[in-house]
Structure 1
Amino acid sequence: MAKKKTKFICQSCGYESPKWMGKCPGCEAWNTFVEEIEAKPSRRGAFVHSNSSIVTKPSPISSIETSSEPRMYTSISEFNRVLGGGIVRGSLVLIGGDPGIGKSTLLLQVSSQLASKEKVLYISGEESVKQTKLRSDRLGVVSDQLFVLAETDLEYISQAIEQTNPGFVVVDSIQTVYHSEVTSAPGSVSQVRECTSELMKIAKTKGIAIFIVGHVTKEGSIAGPRLLEHMVDTVLYFEGERHHTYRILRAVKNRFGSTNEMGIFEMKESGLEEVANPSEIFLEERSKGAAGSTVVASMEGTRPVLVEIQALISPTSFGNPRRMATGIDHNRVSLLMAVLEKRVGLLLQNQDAYLKVAGGVKLDEPAIDLAVAISIASSFRDQPPKPTDVFIGEVGLTGEVRRVARIEQRVQEAAKLGFERVIIPERNLGGWTVPKGVEVVGVASVREALQYTLGG
């Protein structure tokens, strides 16, 4: 009897090695190698979809005809906007999130709405058909065009798609699906890569929009190889605290729309409901007149959102002061504190700094720099800024406030929520219409911004 050959595969990046290693040379992660049996090449090759045998030839792009309805629309406008205006036919979308965050609930609601227009196939690899029906009863999902299948074998899943001929398919989750000709266990790098590849072929050849659910690791990234995110057309992250009602759907990759687009949902007993104006949600519990609290107009994809930034500066009792940030890059906070100390003269080297973006939002654009700097200075001096002020601007290393994009949309959002004054970069003044009832102040440096808001 021939000895079975084995290989070791990194569960993070898919790097293969003939022997076990503690540290992966590809992604430099520790203790990620798992032993898998090396599959023998089959005589008939890998599982071939019926349409994959069609011979194609290159065509001029001018002669290619697109569908009359390239996207499928739901009544959930937040979901449509995150995807770039609707679900593109023939696309493969990966949605990830923590357990219990509401991924299956969201996709079942979307399936119910699409089932009013065409056939939908919901494939559950983690729940039985009756368990899926219990969830649908709670959500009020009833449709004769919504088909449910509890299956994990990719070959049977492909046959079900062929027989049903749906326009929309949900696979929950990709880690439970297995390919019969791959010898490794379901959820391994080889299985996830092969199953996703086959689902991508089905989506592209038959023009079916397929959503696959992916588990996340404790670090918050999609479990499995990074290749999985490169293969799909769109990657969505469903974020939020399990003990809070609000959920954030964020697009981190989208071939058919804007990246970093964000949609806000509220979890209720009847399912997820979209939040039309997230700025009000993020500011509803704001303490007015508190030192260290500022409001910034941040662009989340194509929409401006007003968010509160909180800072707490206190003398340190340790040799090295602590720098902690939630929702903001830690390195950006250290950079802005260095600018305040060098260019403004604030002695922050012996102060602990704690910063937080209220509402659980993650901000990563440069336009939040000015609001973060004002928050730090306000808490350090124990002087609250005016509660009706909004701060927008990027801060350079020499202390200058630099121009930002889409300033008119940001100011209009501030005016809509009743803010009276907006501090913006001086270079952004002119060339656009200022809304009524709002005072726009242009500043050239952080020192000048502090003079307007904190009096020096």
Structure 2
Amino acid sequence: MAKTVPQSHQCSECGWRAPKWLGRCPQCQAWGSIAEVGVSATHGATAPVNPAQPITEVSLAAAASLGSGVGELDRVLGGGITPGSVVLLAGEPGVGKSTLLLEVASRWARAGRRTLYASAEESAAQVRLRAERTHAVVDELYLAAENDLGAILGHIEELSPQLLVLDSVQTVQVPGVDTTPGGVAQVKEVTAALVRVAKQRAMPVLLIGHVTKEGTVAGPRTLEHLVDVVLNFEGEPHSSLRLLRAAKNRFGPADEVGCFELTEDGIREVADPSGLFTALHAEPAPGTCLSISLAGRRPLLTEIQALVAPSAAPMPRRVTHGVESGRVAMLLAVLQRRAGVKLHNKEVYVSTVGGARLIDPASDLAAAIAVASAACDQSFARPVVAIGEIGLSGELRRVPGVERRLAEAARLGFQVALVPPGCGGRVGALRAVEVTTVANALAVLGLRKKTDPERPQLSVVEQAG
């Protein structure tokens, strides 16, 4: 009978097993992903440490979340930080990850809860300097400049903190693992050890993670599976706006968004960010239209601007910023084919205001109206909010959350909104006008070329005035 060779090594990327270490996985071709795993000689049953119990008798007190002191972070986490949870915050260099978590650590410490901030990249003096600048110096906030996992665990044993912040998980090393810091085995071992400590002590752990040039979290893919929450911190280099998005959340919704503003004195919460995505005009300007997009469950007022200019080139330019270029190309084709807006010999530029990035199809109608307004060089008598997805035949389709969008528009003081069929009515002083097609929307707004000899009937915007 052939002797069975124990499969003592496993690939952290695809799970392939081997009896010995290999530099490259033969199955997924990943380098440095094979590490030794414990192999048990028997698979017999053992007595459980914690016996199973009916779900009705499980206490919810241990999972009650605690407010971090940063309202926008609590919104994304689903109400606060859960004891024993491990949260991974990832983002590009310079986006403000360390500044945000230092602010969270200081507010947590101000509540009388001992906090340990372990920095594996900066010295304690450098962290103190940033804390002075952001007014985050608190007595209950302890700093430790360590990149050795054993030393960090020693600080945890000595201080017994109620929150641990580690900056960053890719720079911490385990002496017994023969790979460089940031390697697959190192990151996996560090994260697994911190997860065990977090669960044993019911201590929340906030980890800062690096990202690759593709925008994904650096290290093994299993890192995102080990932690409880994965947050992405995003922002344009030329803009002070920062958005916090949840990619994974075991304790709340994974579609919520938090808004922050990065200033010279640190980071500031933006509870009502609608004003950041709009521009103030002294008088209505051609080529602008407003829409209400949904970032998670939060309605945000966004402004889309368009510029249409003649072009002598055989292939006129189409430039977009903050809006998907493919989506804009489709809208231009629909406008020319279904609404008679001639754009084949025009350059078209479409952009959002304030660094907003629109992926919500509900902004299709606003983008189309902005382009048509720029092509006709006409503005509206007063601001109009346009909500709706446009199909290839030019029809308007319903989008989710119309009630929330209209309620936000009414709260901001708007009086006219264009919506798909079945969504009309009044919300306070706001009048929601139903339009069936993009051509119908342009006719309702009274958009026309200046060379047209006949003036169409009075638009709803003029009627509202």
**TM range, smaller chain:** 0.7 to 0.9
Answer yes or no: is the 8 Å Cα contact 1:120–1:166 preserved in 2: yes
Q: Could you tell me which residue of structure 2 aligns to residue 64 of structure 1?
A: 58
Question: Which shifted more, 95-104 or 220-229?
Answer: 220-229
* 1:267 equivalent among 255, 262, 270: 262
Cα offset, 1:108, TM superposition: 1.1
Query: Aligned equivalents of 1:313 and 1:205: distance in 2?
Result: 62
Answer yes or no: is the 8 Å Cα contact 2:116–2:141 preserved in 1: yes
Q: What pairs up with 1:267-306 in 2 under 5 angstroms?
A: 267-286=262-281, 288-306=283-301
Cα offset, 1:218, TM superposition: 3.3
Question: Which shifted more, 346-355 or 324-333?
Answer: 346-355
Q: Could you tell me which residue of structure 2 aligns to residue 48 of structure 1?
A: none
Aligned CA distance change for structure 1 residues 179 and 42 (closer, same or farther; 3 Å)? farther
Cα offset, 1:307, TM superposition: 0.7
Q: Could you tell me which residue of structure 1 aligns to residue 432 of structure 2?
A: 440
Question: Which shifted more, 316-325 or 121-130?
Answer: 316-325
Cα offset, 1:286, TM superposition: 5.0
Aligned CA distance change for structure 1 residues 150 and 366 (closer, same or farther; 3 Å)? same
Answer yes or no: is the 8 Å Cα contact 1:121–1:146 preserved in 2: yes
Aligned CA distance change for structure 1 residues 243 and 434 (closer, same or farther; 3 Å)? closer
Aligned CA distance change for structure 1 residues 285 and 19 (closer, same or farther; 3 Å)? farther
Answer yes or no: is the 8 Å Cα contact 2:62–2:83 preserved in 1: no
Instruction: Describe the superposition over 1:59-108 as per-residue Cα deviations: whole angstroms up to 9, x where unpaired.
Output: 43222211267111133322221222211222221112232222111111
Aligned CA distance change for structure 1 residues 230 and 418 (closer, same or farther; 3 Å)? same
TM-score (norm 2): 0.82
The reply to whether residue 89 of structure 1 matches residue 89 of structure 2 is: no
Amino acid corresponding to residue 442 of structure 2 in structure 1: L
Aligned CA distance change for structure 1 residues 358 and 226 (closer, same or farther; 3 Å)? farther
The reply to whether residue 332 of structure 1 matches residue 327 of structure 2 is: yes
Amino acid corresponding to residue 439 of structure 2 in structure 1: R
The reply to whether residue 455 of structure 1 matches residue 450 of structure 2 is: no
* 1:55 equivalent among 46, 49, 60: 49
Answer yes or no: is the 8 Å Cα contact 1:384–1:454 preserved in 2: no
Query: Aligned equivalents of 1:261 and 1:137: distance in 2?
Result: 31
The reply to whether residue 390 of structure 1 matches residue 382 of structure 2 is: no
Q: Aligned to 1:331, what secondary structure does the other structure show?
A: helix
Answer yes or no: is the 8 Å Cα contact 2:115–2:141 preserved in 1: yes
Answer yes or no: is the 8 Å Cα contact 2:311–2:345 preserved in 1: yes
Instruction: Describe the superposition over 1:120-150 as per-residue Cα deviations: whole angstroms up to 9, x where unpaired.
Output: 1111001111221222222222333222111
Q: Could you tell me which residue of structure 1 aligns to residue 453 of structure 2?
A: none
Aligned CA distance change for structure 1 residues 388 and 39 (closer, same or farther; 3 Å)? closer
Query: Aligned equivalents of 1:234 and 1:80: distance in 2?
Result: 12
Answer yes or no: is the 8 Å Cα contact 1:386–1:453 preserved in 2: no
Query: Aligned equivalents of 1:61 and 1:121: distance in 2?
Result: 34
Query: Aligned equivalents of 1:232 and 1:441: distance in 2?
Result: 47
Q: Could you tell me which residue of structure 2 aligns to residue 102 of structure 1?
A: 96
RMSD: 3.2
Query: Aligned equivalents of 1:235 and 1:64: distance in 2?
Result: 26
Answer yes or no: is the 8 Å Cα contact 1:258–1:302 preserved in 2: no
Aligned CA distance change for structure 1 residues 185 and 290 (closer, same or farther; 3 Å)? same
Amino acid corresponding to residue 101 of structure 1 in structure 2: V
Aligned CA distance change for structure 1 residues 448 and 15 (closer, same or farther; 3 Å)? farther
Answer yes or no: is the 8 Å Cα contact 2:241–2:355 preserved in 1: no
Query: Aligned equivalents of 2:53 and 2:82: distance in 1?
Result: 22
The reply to whether residue 140 of structure 1 matches residue 135 of structure 2 is: yes
Amino acid corresponding to residue 436 of structure 2 in structure 1: A
Amino acid corresponding to residue 144 of structure 1 in structure 2: D
The reply to whether residue 354 of structure 1 matches residue 355 of structure 2 is: no
TM-score (norm 1): 0.83
Answer yes or no: is the 8 Å Cα contact 2:287–2:371 preserved in 1: yes
Query: Aligned equivalents of 1:345 and 1:228: distance in 2?
Result: 52
Q: Could you tell me which residue of structure 2 aligns to residue 50 of structure 1?
A: none
Aligned CA distance change for structure 1 residues 288 and 57 (closer, same or farther; 3 Å)? farther
Q: Report how many residues are paired.
A: 429
In the alignment, structure 1 segments of 5+ residues that lack a partner are 1-6, 27-32, 45-52
Aligned CA distance change for structure 1 residues 231 and 43 (closer, same or farther; 3 Å)? closer
Q: Could you tell me which residue of structure 2 aligns to residue 251 of structure 1?
A: 246
Q: What pairs up with 1:222-233 in 2 under 5 angstroms?
A: 222-233=217-228
Query: Aligned equivalents of 1:206 and 1:321: distance in 2?
Result: 63
Query: Aligned equivalents of 2:322 and 2:52: distance in 1?
Result: 47
Aligned CA distance change for structure 1 residues 255 and 352 (closer, same or farther; 3 Å)? farther
Cα offset, 1:298, TM superposition: 1.0
Cα offset, 1:420, TM superposition: 2.2
Instruction: Describe the superposition over 1:396-442 as per-residue Cα deviations: whole angstroms up to 9, x where unpaired.
Output: 22221112222232222222323221111121125xx6112x22211
Q: Aligned to 1:339, what secondary structure does the other structure show?
A: helix
Aligned CA distance change for structure 1 residues 313 and 57 (closer, same or farther; 3 Å)? farther
Q: Could you tell me which residue of structure 2 aligns to residue 4 of structure 1?
A: none
* 2:167 equivalent among 161, 164, 172: 172
Query: Aligned equivalents of 1:342 and 1:137: distance in 2?
Result: 60
Could you say which structure has the larger radius of gyration?
A: 2
Query: Aligned equivalents of 1:55 and 1:155: distance in 2?
Result: 26
Amino acid corresponding to residue 259 of structure 2 in structure 1: I
Cα offset, 1:263, TM superposition: 2.4
Query: Aligned equivalents of 2:161 and 2:315: distance in 1?
Result: 60
Query: Aligned equivalents of 2:192 and 2:62: distance in 1?
Result: 27
Q: Aligned to 2:68, what secondary structure does the other structure show?
A: coil
The reply to whether residue 367 of structure 1 matches residue 362 of structure 2 is: yes
Q: Could you tell me which residue of structure 1 aligns to residue 43 of structure 2?
A: none
Q: What pairs up with 1:209-228 in 2 under 5 angstroms?
A: 209-228=204-223
Query: Aligned equivalents of 1:35 and 1:406: distance in 2?
Result: 46
Question: Which shifted more, 374-383 or 171-180?
Answer: 374-383
Q: Could you tell me which residue of structure 1 aligns to residue 405 of structure 2?
A: 410
Q: Could you tell me which residue of structure 1 aligns to residue 422 of structure 2?
A: 427
The reply to whether residue 341 of structure 1 matches residue 333 of structure 2 is: no
Answer yes or no: is the 8 Å Cα contact 2:277–2:354 preserved in 1: yes
Instruction: Describe the superposition over 1:277-327 as per-residue Cα deviations: whole angstroms up to 9, x where unpaired.
Output: 211222244574322211111111222110111223334555444443322
Query: Aligned equivalents of 1:43 and 1:258: distance in 2?
Result: 37
Q: Could you tell me which residue of structure 2 aligns to residue 198 of structure 1?
A: 193
Aligned CA distance change for structure 1 residues 336 and 302 (closer, same or farther; 3 Å)? same
